Amino acid sequence: MARLAVDPAFVVGSLDRRLFGSFVEHMGRCVYTGIYEPDHPDADVDGFRTDVLALVRELGVTAVRYPGGNFVSNYNWEDGVGPKEDRPRKLDLAWRAIEPNQFGTDEFVAWARKAGVDPIWAVNLGTRGIQEAVELLSYCNLPAGTALPDRRVANGSKEPHDIRVWCLGNEMDGPWQIGHKTADEYARLAEETANAMRRVDPGLELVACGSSNAGMPTFGDWERTVLERTYDLVDHISLHAYYEPKDGDQASFLAAAEEMDRMITSVVATADHVKALKRSDKEITLSFDEWNVWYQQHFPGELGLDVREVSPLIEDTYTVDDAVVVGSLLITLLRHADRVKIACLAQLVNVIGPIRTEPGGRAWRQTTFHPFALTAQHAGSTVLRTEVSGPTVQTAAYGEVPALWSTATYEDSTGEVVIFVVNRHETDALDLEVPLHAFGNLLVTQHLSLSDDDRAAVNTAAQPDRVVPRPVDGTGIDHGICRATLPPASWHMIRLSPGGTR
């Protein structure tokens, strides 16, 4: 028996809806034949795939980071604006692909408006620097009347794009990054770039690069060095992390949220250390702007790629277990809603994405689409603290961990409570009890589960709905206690409403 304690008086924080962000990079087929395919039967007048747009809206994405990723560190934004027939074809050094530059700044903003998402922009601090960042910002955000915004107007966008969130480079701690820098080098450049960008548009939100992953040898020290230089100029520091099963260890993989949880806690501690050193009243928050399940063991590395035209790259096909892990990572982000204000599932389409497409053909939902979409749709405005007692799971990577991973949200305007839980045990079902006396009279209005007897099951173009969330029978409330049974390796959304009917 697992018992989950939750009370409206114990609040983690308000939920920033940008936590349900995603990521579009010029990599593989994310852009070309992903979101943009002018010759597709379902393409609109701008070349955007309307079938993909519909799925993006259904997914519930709120913000999308662009144009990278590693791609941005050798990207000249000027190549992607203006008449398409005049744009150069170039070799992208990040992924060794020929970039046709038929989709760029103005196209992405137009796509984002149609998708109903806020654009988050990354600037190139690898091969370029302060001047180029300021010029791009001026092109995007200033009204007509000077050279760069006038160029935007001439290219068809009369009104400023008004992009509010800007990332100061990407993974600059990584030796794989074009223009890789030491912490001191990057901190100095980020400080000067942030200062200059705020001269153009003081109201920006700026994201400083944190570590590429928690396994980097400079993790922690990198964040300290960067924030000591940029603390008064930036709003967020970034985190990136990808997870996969290693050596067949599914038990540790199902508990991967432990690693994400520890990484967030460590970065918060480092940021608050710098806050104390500076005697500052300002609080730095986190942008977890790349996260997902990624089978990196199947990736040959950048130098293992042949120079080629746009073609498939790291198009992982996701299983039931992968979807359960993605659901548990979303739970972790919610559990830190007081400090994590932006998060981006990387990437949106084809490249380790929840949406897959065929060139000229169909688009469908991967298994990982479902926990993201349901969490984005049902999570309330306030995240509540949860405490769990019950069975544990022994893992090689993280030791003994709770079998139940959980969070809950509350909506003041309706009194609705939504509980998100994962049973991380591979073989044992969990009987769940949730006392709800503090909320008054609630009834179960919906319980959806993602699980399958075949945990390796996937969705494909031929069987796009092989794995979908299914209603759970038998969940109810008796004497103020919600009771449910959770199958092994399963993700759940339980919605409870005042005066509802089952």
Token pair for residue 202? Answer: 């003081």
Stretch 263-275: mean pLDDT = 98
What pLDDT is recorded for position 502?
42
Class of residue 454 by CB neighbours under 10 A (exposed 0-12, middle 13-18, buried 19+): exposed
pLDDT band for position 310 (cuts 50, 70, 90): confident
Three-state SS across 62-90? Answer: CEEEECCCHHHHHCCHHHHCCCHHHCCCE
Long-range CB pairs of 219-222, under 8 A, 24+ apart, other chains included: 219/266, 220/266, 220/270, 221/183, 222/173, 222/183
**What does the pLDDT look like over 401-427, one tens digit per residue?**
999 999 999 999 999 999 999 999 999
Determine the Cα–Cα distance for residues 18 and 287; give it in Å rounded to an integer: 9
* pLDDT tops 80 at residue 111: yes
| Residues contacting residue 284 through CB under 8 Å, at least 6 positions apart | 227, 231, 234, 235, 236, 237, 271, 274, 275
Q: Are 357 and 33 in contact (CB under 8 A)?
A: yes
What pLDDT is recorded for position 301?
83
Alpha helices in 220-281 (DSSP H): 221-230, 250-254, 257-277
| Residues contacting residue 191 through CB under 8 Å, at least 6 positions apart | 229, 230, 233
> Taken in order 267, 268, 271, 276, is the CA torsion positive or negative?
negative
| Residues contacting residue 438 through CB under 8 Å, at least 6 positions apart | 6, 7, 8, 9
> Vertex 447, ends 347 and 342: CA angle to 5°?
30
**Which amino acid type is present at position 235?**
D
Class of residue 325 by CB neighbours under 10 A (exposed 0-12, middle 13-18, buried 19+): buried
Stretch 11-36: mean pLDDT = 98
**What does the pLDDT look like over 423-462, one tens digit per residue?**
999 999 999 999 999 999 999 999 999 999 999 999 999 9
What pLDDT is recorded for position 490?
98
Determine the Cα–Cα distance for residues 244 and 254; give it in Å rounded to an integer: 9
- Is 171 an annotated catalytic residue? yes
* pLDDT tops 50 at residue 7: yes
**What does the pLDDT look like over 208-242, one tens digit per residue?**
999 999 999 999 999 999 999 999 999 999 999 99
What pLDDT is recorded for position 466?
97
| Residues contacting residue 173 through CB under 8 Å, at least 6 positions apart | 180, 181, 183, 186, 209, 211, 212, 216, 218, 222
Token pair for residue 468? Answer: 């979908």
Q: Which position among 25, 107, 135, 171 bears the catalytic label?
A: 171
Stretch 252-259: mean pLDDT = 98
Helix or strand or coil: residue 252?
Answer: helix
Determine the Cα–Cα distance for residues 67 and 120; give it in Å rounded to an integer: 9
Helix or strand or coil: residue 502?
Answer: coil
What pLDDT is recorded for position 302?
85
Q: Which position among 37, 223, 290, 416 bears the catalytic label?
A: 290
% of the chain beyond a pLDDT of 90: 95
pTM, entire model: 0.96
Determine the Cα–Cα distance for residues 363 and 379; give it in Å rounded to an integer: 26
Token pair for residue 361? Answer: 């053909």
HSE-CB for 117 with a 13 A CA cutoff: 31
**What does the pLDDT look like over 487-496, one tens digit per residue?**
999 999 999 9
Stretch 72-97: mean pLDDT = 97
Closest-CA residue to 119 (of 162, 70, 151): 162
Q: Are 196 and 130 in contact (CB under 8 A)?
A: yes
Q: Are 61 and 21 in contact (CB under 8 A)?
A: yes
> Taken in order 341, 379, 362, 471, is the CA torsion positive or negative?
positive
pLDDT band for position 477 (cuts 50, 70, 90): very high
**What does the pLDDT look like over 188-198, one tens digit per residue?**
999 999 999 99
What pLDDT is recorded for position 501?
44
What pLDDT is recorded for position 494?
98
* pLDDT tops 60 at residue 500: no
Q: How far is CA 353 from the centre of its chain?
A: 11
* pLDDT tops 60 at residue 164: yes
Token pair for residue 438? Answer: 């503090």
Stretch 314-324: mean pLDDT = 97
Integer CA distances (angstroms), 444 to 405, 406, 427, in order = 20, 17, 26
Span of 300-314, 336-350, 383-397 with lowest mean pLDDT: 300-314
Determine the Cα–Cα distance for residues 491 and 478; give it in Å rounded to an integer: 23
Determine the Cα–Cα distance for residues 138 and 251; give it in Å rounded to an integer: 50
